[in-house]
Amino acid sequence: MSTPDQPSFPTSLGTSDLTSMSLLGKDVATELMGEVTFGELAYWLLTLQRPTRQQGRLFEAVLLGLADHGFTPTAIAARLTYLSAPDAIQGALASGLLGGGSRYLGVTEDTGRFLRAVVADLDEVPTDEAGWDEVALAAVRAQREKGTFVPGLGHPVHKQGDPRTPRIIEIAREEGQYGTNLALFEAIGRVHEQVLGKRLPLNGAGVSGAALADLGIPTELLRGTVLLARCAGLLGHVAEEIRRPIANSMYLSIDRNAVYVDPSDGQAG
Amino acid sequence: MSTPDQPSFPTSLGTSDLTSMSLLGKDVATELMGEVTFGELAYWLLTLQRPTRQQGRLFEAVLLGLADHGFTPTAIAARLTYLSAPDAIQGALASGLLGGGSRYLGVTEDTGRFLRAVVADLDEVPTDEAGWDEVALAAVRAQREKGTFVPGLGHPVHKQGDPRTPRIIEIAREEGQYGTNLALFEAIGRVHEQVLGKRLPLNGAGVSGAALADLGIPTELLRGTVLLARCAGLLGHVAEEIRRPIANSMYLSIDRNAVYVDPSDGQAG
Amino acid sequence: MSTPDQPSFPTSLGTSDLTSMSLLGKDVATELMGEVTFGELAYWLLTLQRPTRQQGRLFEAVLLGLADHGFTPTAIAARLTYLSAPDAIQGALASGLLGGGSRYLGVTEDTGRFLRAVVADLDEVPTDEAGWDEVALAAVRAQREKGTFVPGLGHPVHKQGDPRTPRIIEIAREEGQYGTNLALFEAIGRVHEQVLGKRLPLNGAGVSGAALADLGIPTELLRGTVLLARCAGLLGHVAEEIRRPIANSMYLSIDRNAVYVDPSDGQAG
Amino acid sequence: MSTPDQPSFPTSLGTSDLTSMSLLGKDVATELMGEVTFGELAYWLLTLQRPTRQQGRLFEAVLLGLADHGFTPTAIAARLTYLSAPDAIQGALASGLLGGGSRYLGVTEDTGRFLRAVVADLDEVPTDEAGWDEVALAAVRAQREKGTFVPGLGHPVHKQGDPRTPRIIEIAREEGQYGTNLALFEAIGRVHEQVLGKRLPLNGAGVSGAALADLGIPTELLRGTVLLARCAGLLGHVAEEIRRPIANSMYLSIDRNAVYVDPSDGQAG
pLDDT tens digits, residue range B139-185?
999 999 999 999 999 988 888 889 999 999 999 999 999 999 999 99
Per-residue pLDDT at D269 exceeds 80: no
Asked if A150 and A114 touch (Cβ cutoff 8 Å), the reply is yes
Q: Nearest chain D residue to B87 by CA: give it.
A: D88
Asked if C140 and C191 touch (Cβ cutoff 8 Å), the reply is yes
pLDDT of residue A76: 98
The model carries a pTM of 0.96
Cross-chain CB nearest to C240 (options D11, D161, D256):
D11
Mean pLDDT of chain C: 94
Task: At A31, give phi and psi (nearest 5°).
Answer: -105, -20
Mean pLDDT of D192-198: 96
CA torsion A154-A156-A161-A165 (nearest 10°) is: -70
Binary contact (A91, D85; C-beta < 8 A): no
Cross-chain CB nearest to D28 (options C10, C65, C256):
C65
pLDDT of residue C262: 87
Binary contact (C11, A263; C-beta < 8 A): no
Confirm or reject contact between C25 and chain D (CB < 8 A): no
Q: Nearest chain A residue to C85 by CA: give it.
A: A88
Rounded to an integer, what distance in angstroms lies between the CA atom of residue D88 and that of residue D79?
12
Confirm or reject contact between B99 and chain A (CB < 8 A): yes
CA distances from C121 to C125, C129, C179, C180 (A): 10, 18, 16, 12
ipTM over 0.90: yes
Mean pLDDT of B49-53: 97
Cross-chain CB nearest to C41 (options D88, D224, D232):
D232
Percent of chain D having pLDDT more than 90?
87
Binary contact (B25, D257; C-beta < 8 A): no
The H or E element spanning position C258 is strand C258-260
- From chain B, pick out residues whose CB is under 8 angstroms from the CB of C99: 80-81, 83-85, 91, 95
Percent of chain D having pLDDT more than 70?
96
Query: Chains near D, with 3+ CB pairs < 8 A?
Result: A, B, C
pLDDT of residue D4: 52
pLDDT of residue B102: 77
pLDDT of residue C267: 47
CA torsion C204-C208-C214-C217 (nearest 10°) is: -170
Bridge partners of B202, per DSSP, are B153
pLDDT of residue A268: 47
Asked if B88 and A220 touch (Cβ cutoff 8 Å), the reply is no
Q: Residue window 219-248, chain B: list those with CB within 8 Å of chain C.
A: 240, 243-244, 246-247
For A219, which DSSP code?
Answer: G
Q: What is the DSSP string of C117-165?
A: HHHHT-SS---SHHHHHHHHHHHHHHHHHHT-PPTTB--SS-TT--THH
Per-residue pLDDT at D71 exceeds 90: yes
Binary contact (C258, A12; C-beta < 8 A): no
Q: Which domains does chain C have, with CATH numbers?
A: 107-215 (1.10.230.10)
pLDDT of residue B215: 98
Q: What is the DSSP string of B84-122?
A: H-TT-HHHHHHHHHTT-STTTS-HHHHHHHHHHHHHHT-
A 10 A CB-CB count for A25 gives 18
Q: Nearest chain B residue to A42 by CA: give it.
A: B232
Among B72, B116, B82, which Cα is nearest to B211's? B116
> Which residues have CB under 8 Å from B122's CB, separation 6+?
B135
* Residue B4 pLDDT grade (very low, low, confident, very high; cuts 50, 70, 90): low
pLDDT digits (tens, 9 = 90+) for B62-99: 999 999 999 999 999 999 999 999 999 999 999 999 99
pLDDT digits (tens, 9 = 90+) for A212-245: 999 999 999 999 999 999 999 999 999 999 999 9
**Helical residues (DSSP H) of A147-269, grouped into ranges:** 164-174, 180-196, 204-214, 222-243, 247-255
Least confident of B16-20, B27-31, C62-66, D43-47: B16-20
What order do you get walking across the sheet with B21-23 strand by strand?
A: B15-16, B21-23, B26-27
* Residue C19 pLDDT grade (very low, low, confident, very high; cuts 50, 70, 90): confident
Q: Residue window 74-93, chain A: list those with CB within 8 Å of chain B.
A: 75, 88-91, 93
pLDDT of residue C268: 47
Bridge partners of C9, per DSSP, are A258
Burial D59-82 (b: 16+ CB within 10 A, else e): bbbbbbbbbbbbbbbbbbbbbbbb
Mean pLDDT of B17-30: 93
| DSSP SS3 for D21 | strand
Among B33, B35, B13, which Cα is nearest to B22's? B13
